[in-house]
Amino acid sequence: MNLEEFRNFTIRDYHALFARGELSPSVLLEAFFRRIEEVDPLLHAFLFVNRENALERARRLEKEWKGRDLYPPLWGIPVAVKDNICTLGIPTTCGSKILEGFIPPYNATVIERLERAGAIIIGKTNMDEFAMGSSTENSAFGPTRNPFDLNRVPGGSSGGSAAAVAAFEAPVALGSDTGGSVRQPAAFCGIVGLRPTYGRVSRYGLVSFASSLDQIGPMTRTVEDAITLFEVISGKDERDSTCAPYPPFSREEIPPQEDIRTMKIGLPREYFSEGVDPRMVKVITAVLRELEKEGLELIEVSLPHTNYALEAYYIVAPSEASSNLARYDGVLYGMRKGGDRGLQDMYFQTRSSGFGPEVKRRILLGTYSLSSGYYDAYYLKGMKVRTLVRRDFEEAFATCHLLVTPVSPVFPFFLGERTKSPYEMYLADVFTIPSAMAGVPSIAMNCGYEDGLPVGMQIIAGPFQERVLFALARFVEQMLSLPLPFPEIGPERRT
Amino acid sequence: MENIYVTIGLEVHCQLLTRAKMFCRCSTDYIGKTPNTLVCPVCMGLPGALPVLNRKALELAIKTALALQCEILPEVVFHRKNYFYPDLPKGYQISQYDFPIGVRGVLEFTLQGVKKRVRIRRVHVEEDAGKLVHEGPDLRGAVSGVDFNRAGIPLVEIVTEPDLHSPEEAKECLVMLRSIVRYLGVSDGNMEEGSLRCDANVSVSLSPEMPGTKVEIKNMNSFRSVFRALSYEVERQTELLRAGKTPVQETRHWDEVRQVTVPSRGKEEAEDYRYFPDPDLLPFCIPPEMLQEIQATIPELPLQKKERFMREYELPEPEAYILAQDRDLAEFFEACVREFPSPRAVCNFILTEVLKNLNSLNIGIRESKVTPSMLAELLKMVERREIGISLAKGIFEEMFRTGMGARDVMLKKGISFLTSERDLEKVVREVIEKNPQSVADYLRGKEKALHFLIGQVMRATKGQASPEVVKNLLLRELSGGE
């Protein structure tokens, strides 16, 4: 069986083959394992491949469902999971040395829901340490490479999930997005990535980076599959107080295609400024023209606090992180170093050697921002800016249904290109941070290629308006009909 | 010698009597349990685990604040208090900061009959930490363990203004506070088991205008140690001042063995807890009807009860105060009075005999085998002069030990009803018949002869009759019958 035959498949297509008896979950799984064996030594998308457990589960599913052809939504579908989502009995490292060897004794809510829907966890994917980064270069276990060009980064922090789905090592994946960590790597790898409304998906079992911003989202090859995953993982959870008390999303909520043509699309002026790569603007503008031809109205809008959102984010997110990461102290789990010279020594050595430089940088930033005497000037001010950013979006959505922007101002950059300057790296998320700060949903999707690299387009909707988000994304996907990625990956492509 | 001016403020923590912990569903019944058996990802602070507020904890904290006449803030906000310690699994404690549950309350108590009033600065709710264990089967050498069974149990923290002016006042204030939390059923207030903990700030000054230096005292594990630690500290600071020195602003630990306070090690500089609102918990708006519902569950409190006892039962203040301190004892008293309407007698017996027996076993009235009706029955027999008070005390001890009623104890002990008035008359007549000389002596005016006769009756009844009754019977018989 050649996996390439499935490159344009959605989950529904696998189910059709399962139902006809032409394919089984274990055979499908084996095919993905072979693909992982073939390409992952070059890509390094996975930190852990769940070989034995996954195969066993596939066979059990086959036995349980023998003779039935009506499947739960993810039945038999391998799902790659970002390594900051707790998986019972499967290592969860967050890309950090400090959690090396940590095996959670419980499943995250999203994992429970995936498994209840019949999914098979194929493995855990690489990421920037504790989701802090935009290139996956901050992983303590080595970077992931972009399947379109092995010299380039896949984006981050969910770079492992993005690369795995783009390289077809897994059909779908979960990532997490704090300031763009699902959408930016999705754009860099030419796939679909959804950041749901804050509170739409339970965070229980997602290792916290910045609690008021973290959201888990699907990373898929098609909008259709993103919808399917979102239906499964969304909905209220009594174990997460910040999870909204709404039922799971249903595709029935998505407005019909003909309604799209009457929609007003806002183009925020601040997102098409000089800092954006002109080749990217060119591709996106072409798509927008086509939408206009389809009858959609385009209007210019303004999100005046865009420039402050990034600054405020780098106050608020590190503040929460400095507290969230205090638990890695060598006492209960994970790495422990030193201690012969007392408690302080153990803390000092464990945290000094367990955390990488970017994590330390953000812990220091956050600790400083929360310190007495600085709290008002930093954390409190940051939260006030956040309110202004949220208001920007409220005002914009009073005049249009959706916003369309680039995902990142830049194309996937070369490994090492931005590691020397943290600020340069932070700028890669400048267009994904504001909507995260506002808590509104947005989706990144491929809208074309330039010089062999994917161009990402971002659609942003009002809070809990995923239904409209999906409507436009699906419309654009069908309108463009781009081939889904199946990049040739071999050592010869390493330049 | 010049006057000294003592200023004391208390910071009291009470474990709240919820079945589940504050942010997870683990049991709070941790006393005597194997370490780390009442834990889950949430209270162990595992990566990814999130807190979900137990509303019951909030209700009990609000109840406490209402009983202390606090203003209740409309929105409950939880803050993270960040610091590193091995018993703190998340590296921060979920607590409250600038929006506590209640502020500006009042606590009243009496000390030697004098009414005292302490302002309450704030009442807030927070989670308890785990416990460091230094001895145990798995611990060898210089190794310490951490038991997280206690981690996440809800605590209410009550902070008073520095309105207390002596160790006696501080202790009495704490006793009243314990009494109130027990009345409310929000905490069992047991200092020895650590469900009530008290820290104190003490300063001593030689002039009422000059504030002293605040010294924080920790590690006081009983009411007695609160009193002793504060007395020691007041004395220590006074001596320093008299020697022309100034006490250092610091935290000191009460050393129970050596009976002294010693400076705590480390933590010299003021710690910065970097409080900020916990983003895992949304602010909780208290609906007005919730406040009303909680207010309706607040019972008559100790001071109100004391005043009612004085009014209704005409009890003297000190007795009423002691009875009212213990809700169970007060209820026992009232139940007993309903069956035996002689409040003074009931009160006296309770405050002497009942308390003596309870204290000897270190139990509360609830755990004793004697019911109010049983005590009423016993006291009725005393009133009817069937038994004397000293016999009654002995019978009560037996009732307390066995749970048997007064009459059963008498039967079992062979006291029978010989000592009842009619039987006693028989004995009295017999003694008169057998001792004509003494009778004659008495009739001639020899008072001593009467004492001899009483002694004879007492001997014949094995000391079980009331001498008072015997005397009256003898007098009646000797004066020529009816």
Give the range of the structural domain holding residue B467, as residue numbers without chain letter: 421-478
Look at residue A494 and tell me whether its pLDDT is greater than 60.
no
Residues B355 and B306 in one domain: yes
Q: Is some CB atom of chain A closer than 8 A to the CB atom of B92?
A: yes
Q: Each residue of A168-177: pLDDT tens digit? A: 999 999 999 9
- Token duo for residue B162: 């520095």
In angstroms, the CA B369 to CA B348 distance is 19
- Here the ipTM equals 0.96
Residues B433 and B459 in one domain: yes
The answer to whether the beta carbons of residues B294 and B67 sit under 8 Å apart is no
Residues B199 and B80 in one domain: yes
Q: Is residue A157 among the annotated active site residues?
A: yes
Q: Read off the DSSP letter of residue A130.
A: G
Residues B317 and B441 in one domain: no
CATH number of the domain to which A176 belongs: 3.90.1300.10
A89: left (phi over 0), alpha (psi -120 to 50) or beta: left
Helix, coil or strand: residue B121: strand
Nearest to A327 among B45, B276, B281 (CB): B45
Q: Each residue of A127-167: pLDDT tens digit? A: 999 999 999 999 999 999 999 999 999 999 999 999 999 99
In angstroms, the CA B165 to CA B201 distance is 11
What are the two backbone dihedrals, phi and then psi, of residue A406, each rounded to the nearest 5 degrees?
-70, 160
Number of domain units in chain A: 1
Residue A214 resides in a domain: yes
Q: Which amino acid is at B130?
A: G
- Given B354, B382, B412, the domain boundary residue is B412
Residue B218 resides in a domain: no
Helix, coil or strand: residue A427: helix
The answer to whether the beta carbons of residues B416 and B410 sit under 8 Å apart is yes
Look at residue B104 and tell me whether its pLDDT is greater than 60.
yes
Residue B116 CB partners (closer than 8 Å, separation 6+): B108, B109, B110, B169, B172, B173
Taking the CA atoms of residue A366, residue A370, residue A375 and residue A381 in that order, the dihedral angle to the nearest 10 degrees is 40
Residue B52 resides in a domain: yes
Tell me which of A157, A161, A234, A369 is the catalytic residue: A157
Q: Each residue of A53-67: pLDDT tens digit? A: 999 999 999 999 887
Look at residue B269 and tell me whether its pLDDT is greater than 70.
no
Q: Read off the DSSP letter of residue B475.
A: H
Residues B82 and B133 in one domain: yes
Give the range of the structural domain holding residue A202, as residue numbers without chain letter: 3-258+468-493
The strand pairing partners of B93, in sequence order, are B81
Residues B462 and B335 in one domain: no
The strand pairing partners of B323, in sequence order, are none
- Token duo for residue A212: 């008021």
Least confident of A7-21, A385-399, B299-313, B444-458: B444-458
Q: Which amino acid is at B335?
A: A
| A172-177 and A215-220 beta bridge pairing | antiparallel
B281 versus B454: which is more confidently predicted? B281
**Alpha helices (H) along B157-287:** 167-184, 223-242
The answer to whether the beta carbons of residues A483 and A139 sit under 8 Å apart is no
Residues B13 and B130 in one domain: yes
Q: Is some CB atom of chain A closer than 8 A to the CB atom of B141?
A: no
Look at residue B285 and tell me whether its pLDDT is greater than 50.
yes
Residues B407 and B446 in one domain: no
Residue B482's pLDDT is 42
Rounded to the nearest angstrom, the minimum Cα separation between A306 and chain B is 23
Residues B450 and B321 in one domain: no
In angstroms, the CA A267 to CA B176 distance is 67
Q: Which of A254, A234, A229 is closest to A244 using CA atoms?
A: A234
Cα–Cα distances in Å, from B264 out to A171, B251, B267?
59, 6, 8
In angstroms, the CA A247 to CA A126 distance is 31
In angstroms, the CA A132 to CA A317 distance is 10
Residue A296 resides in a domain: no
In angstroms, the CA B12 to CA A368 distance is 31
In angstroms, the CA A141 to CA A156 distance is 14
Q: Read off the DSSP letter of residue B445.
A: T
Q: How many Cβ atoms are within 10 Å of A128's Cβ, its own excluded?
A: 33
Cross-chain Cβ contact A208/B47 below 8 Å: yes
Residue A47 resides in a domain: yes
In angstroms, the CA A227 to CA A210 distance is 25
| B131-133 and B92-95 beta bridge pairing | unpaired
Residues B185 and B111 in one domain: yes
Q: How does DSSP assign A181-225, residue by residue?
A: TTHHHHHHTTSEEEEPPTTSB--TTBPPSSTTT-EEEEEESSHHH
Least confident of A7-11, A36-40, A67-71, B433-437: A67-71
Q: Each residue of A118-135: pLDDT tens digit? A: 999 999 999 999 999 999
Query: Can you tell me the mean pLDDT for B168-191?
Result: 96
The answer to whether the beta carbons of residues B85 and B43 sit under 8 Å apart is no
The strand pairing partners of B262, in sequence order, are B253
Cross-chain Cβ contact A329/B45 below 8 Å: no
Residue A306 resides in a domain: no
Residue A11 resides in a domain: yes
DSSP H/E element including A264:
strand A264-268
Residue B82's pLDDT is 97
In terms of Cβ atoms closer than 10 Å to its own Cβ (0-12, 13-18, 19+), residue B111 is: middle
Residues in chain B: 482
Q: Where are the beta strands (DSSP E) in A273-422?
A: 297-301, 402-406
Residue B74 CB partners (closer than 8 Å, separation 6+): B285, B286
Residue A51 resides in a domain: yes
Look at residue A404 and tell me whether its pLDDT is greater than 90.
yes
In angstroms, the CA B46 to CA A104 distance is 8
Query: Can you tell me the mean pLDDT for B427-434?
Result: 88
Rounded to the nearest angstrom, the minimum Cα separation between B285 and chain A is 14
The strand pairing partners of B10, in sequence order, are B200
Residue B443 resides in a domain: yes
Helix, coil or strand: residue B199: strand
Q: Each residue of B50-74: pLDDT tens digit? A: 999 999 999 999 999 999 999 999 9
Residue written as token pair 């010869």: A492
- Token duo for residue A365: 């930033």
Nearest to A208 among B48, B272, B275 (CB): B48
CATH number of the domain to which B445 belongs: 1.10.10.410
The answer to whether the beta carbons of residues A134 and A428 sit under 8 Å apart is yes
Cross-chain Cβ contact A370/B92 below 8 Å: no
Q: Chain-wide mean pLDDT for chain B?
A: 91
Q: Chain-wide mean pLDDT for chain A?
A: 96
Residue A414 resides in a domain: no
The strand pairing partners of A87, in sequence order, are A90
- Token duo for residue A346: 């153990």
Interface test with B, best of A370, A376, A437 (most B CBs within 10 A): A370
Q: Which of B272, B302, B289, B366 is closest to B328 using CA atoms?
A: B366
Percent with pLDDT over 90 in chain B: 73
Residues B135 and B79 in one domain: yes
Q: How many Cβ atoms are within 10 Å of B404's Cβ, its own excluded?
A: 18
Look at residue B142 and tell me whether its pLDDT is greater than 90.
no
Q: Is some CB atom of chain A closer than 8 A to the CB atom of B272?
A: yes
Residue B279's pLDDT is 98
Residue A173 resides in a domain: yes
Residue B64 resides in a domain: yes
**B420: confidence class by pLDDT, cuts 50, 70, 90:** low
Q: Which of B256, B217, B273 is closest to B85 using CA atoms?
A: B273
Residue B113 resides in a domain: yes
Residue B273 resides in a domain: no
In angstroms, the CA A77 to CA A116 distance is 12
In angstroms, the CA B247 to CA A135 distance is 57
Q: How does DSSP assign A14-71, residue by residue?
A: HHHHHHTTS--HHHHHHHHHHHHHHHHHHH--EEEE-HHHHHHHHHHHHHHTTT----
In the stretch 33-52 of chain B, residues with CB closer than 8 A to chain A read 41, 44-52
CA-based nearest residue in chain A for residue B89: A327
The answer to whether the beta carbons of residues B441 and B393 sit under 8 Å apart is no
Cross-chain Cβ contact B50/A322 below 8 Å: no
The strand pairing partners of A195, in sequence order, are A442
Q: Which of A429, A472, A441 is closest to A201 using CA atoms?
A: A441
Tell me which of A181, A202, A234, A369 is the catalytic residue: A181
- Token duo for residue A204: 């229980």
In terms of Cβ atoms closer than 10 Å to its own Cβ (0-12, 13-18, 19+), residue B421 is: middle
- Given B261, B276, B293, the domain boundary residue is B293
Residue B265 CB partners (closer than 8 Å, separation 6+): none
- Given B412, B440, B459, the domain boundary residue is B412
The answer to whether the beta carbons of residues A446 and A482 sit under 8 Å apart is yes
Look at residue A491 and tell me whether its pLDDT is greater than 60.
yes
Cross-chain Cβ contact B46/A333 below 8 Å: yes
Burial readout A25-58 (b: 16 or more C-beta within 10 A, e: otherwise): bbebbbbbbebbeebbebbbbbbbbbeeebbebb
Q: Each residue of A420-477: pLDDT tens digit? A: 888 888 888 999 999 999 999 999 999 999 999 999 999 999 999 999 999 999 999 9
Residues B81 and B138 in one domain: yes
Query: Can you tell me the mean pLDDT for B328-340?
Result: 96
Q: Is some CB atom of chain A closer than 8 A to the CB atom of B280?
A: yes
Q: Is residue A134 among the annotated active site residues?
A: no
Residue A25's pLDDT is 97
Residue B144's pLDDT is 84
DSSP H/E element including A125:
strand A120-125
Q: How many Cβ atoms are within 10 Å of A307's Cβ, its own excluded?
A: 12
Percent with pLDDT over 70 in chain A: 99
**A193: confidence class by pLDDT, cuts 50, 70, 90:** very high
Q: Is residue A176 among the annotated active site residues?
A: no
Percent with pLDDT over 70 in chain B: 95
In terms of Cβ atoms closer than 10 Å to its own Cβ (0-12, 13-18, 19+), residue B90 is: buried
